[in-house]
Chain A
């Protein structure tokens, strides 16, 4: 009988104040086991204070081949950056 444990993605917050970051993946039968396995595999030396696991199949990723269309709209919007605006040199604290 083929009964393979599904793949989970592991995200670890290394300390409070920082975001969770992708660390790698792990196989486990369920979420609880995924957490325990992630603890043993990715945080053996206090690398984290919090772990998220999510089954890999639930992640939708953008396709790098479409990166052009996807990110291009932001490229010509230079007015979103402070340097777009010209101010006299005398203005301070801005």
Chain B
């Protein structure tokens, strides 16, 4: 053995748990709940998965607002099914998050006390029926772009939950776009309503991809753990490039005077995003932050007696069964 070989041999044996762990991820192996993992990996995943779960659950509120006022039975069953899917997404994700050793109760606690965040987009109000179209088309559309890469993320339970989520998202976006098509082809008032919704949801949708790469703190680490495959700016560009033609197709105008096709980069150049607005909403000063949190906390607190009654009933049934057995 040459000196160099001996050195390499020695190094191989002194690989730390953490290095072995990183190599497993680099080899595209999945990490499963009981595997050893660095504390930072566990924490980062609890943060991201729970934030994702909270977003699904809070995301039900703006759309839930219109279920009883949907303009037809067809629209109503679709919206109802969509909102129910979002509840399902939240539950898949909470269940994935709990495998990292945090309880559902702690997760809710973090949301209700403001310790955990959820996607800022849900802090905007849904003022007309056209908002149901714009949300499905743009918000679910942006979510799909963010979520598809997560189907192959390194943490097994998260990846499996995301595969199920992504399968269901496509209907969400299509039902939204269909609403927009119908309004855009309707009366002048209806078309105006569709345009107004696009005007209000466009910029917040672009913000859903997060701060620009220059400002983003987590990107390098997230790439390594496959929580990210592309940067925020790349994903944002992809969203713009695929959405602009969809707007043109139905005769709606993207509310950005600087939007222009750039032949060289084969993509659109676009105007400046108002990041001050973004940070204001993140910090809790969006138009509906308070309303959303009040709704969540109320649902949890006012549901406590139901949860207790169900447990009492379950115990009673169990006791009855035991008595019968004796």
Instruction: Determine whether the beta carbon of B314 is less than 8 Å from that of A44.
Output: no
Q: Which of B44-52, B114-122, B258-266, B303-311 sits within the interface? A: B303-311
Q: Closest approach, in angstroms, between the C-beta of A5 and any C-beta of chain B?
A: 6
Instruction: Determine whether the beta carbon of B91 is less than 8 Å from that of A41.
Output: yes
Instruction: Determine whether the beta carbon of B95 is less than 8 Å from that of A30.
Output: no
Q: Closest approach, in angstroms, between the C-beta of B133 and any C-beta of chain A?
A: 23
| B218 interface residue per 8 A CB criterion | no
Given known contacts A4-B104, A27-B104, A44-B88, A64 and B36 CB-to-CB distance under 8 angstroms: yes
Interface string of B229-266 (1 = CB under 8 A from A): 00000000000000000000000000000000000000
Instruction: Determine whether the beta carbon of A5 is less than 8 Å from that of B161.
Output: no
Given known contacts A24-B161, A25-B98, A44-B88, A5 and B307 CB-to-CB distance under 8 angstroms: yes
Inside 8 A of B313's CB, which chain A residues have their CB? 29-30
Instruction: Determine whether the beta carbon of A30 is less than 8 Å from that of B317.
Output: yes
Interface of B is mostly: helix
Inside 8 A of A26's CB, which chain B residues have their CB? 91, 95
Q: How far is the CA of A10 from the CA of B27 in the complex (A)?
A: 30
Q: Closest approach, in angstroms, between the C-beta of B196 and any C-beta of chain A?
A: 33
Interface string of A55-88 (1 = CB under 8 A from B): 0000001011100000000000000000000000
Inside 8 A of A63's CB, which chain B residues have their CB? 34
Instruction: Determine whether the beta carbon of B36 is less than 8 Å from that of A44.
Output: no
Given known contacts A1-B308, A24-B96, A24-B161, A29 and B32 CB-to-CB distance under 8 angstroms: no
Inside 8 A of A5's CB, which chain B residues have their CB? 307, 310-311
B residues 54-106 in Cβ contact with A at 8 Å: 81, 84-85, 88, 91-92, 95-96, 98, 103-105
Instruction: Determine whether the beta carbon of B88 is less than 8 Å from that of A41.
Output: yes
Inside 8 A of A44's CB, which chain B residues have their CB? 81, 84-85, 88
Q: How far is the CA of A14 from the CA of B103 in the complex (A)?
A: 29
**A4, A25, A45: the one within 8 Å of B95 (CB):** A25
Q: How far is the CA of A43 from the CA of B219 in the complex (A)?
A: 35
Inside 8 A of A45's CB, which chain B residues have their CB? 168
Q: How far is the CA of A61 from the CA of B318 in the complex (A)?
A: 26
| B39 interface residue per 8 A CB criterion | no
| A33 interface residue per 8 A CB criterion | yes
Given known contacts A4-B105, A64-B36, A65-B36, A29 and B88 CB-to-CB distance under 8 angstroms: no
| A54 interface residue per 8 A CB criterion | no
Instruction: Determine whether the beta carbon of A30 is less than 8 Å from that of B98.
Output: no
Given known contacts A25-B95, A27-B104, A3 and B308 CB-to-CB distance under 8 angstroms: yes
A residues 14-49 in Cβ contact with B at 8 Å: 24-27, 29-30, 33, 40-42, 44-45
B positions within 8 Å CB-CB of A: 32, 34-36, 81, 84-85, 88, 91-92, 95-96, 98, 103-105, 157, 160-161, 168, 307-308, 310-311, 313-314, 317-318
User: Given A7-B98, A33-B310, 5 other A-B contacts at CB below 8 A?
Assistant: A3-B311, A24-B157, A27-B104, A29-B314, A30-B313
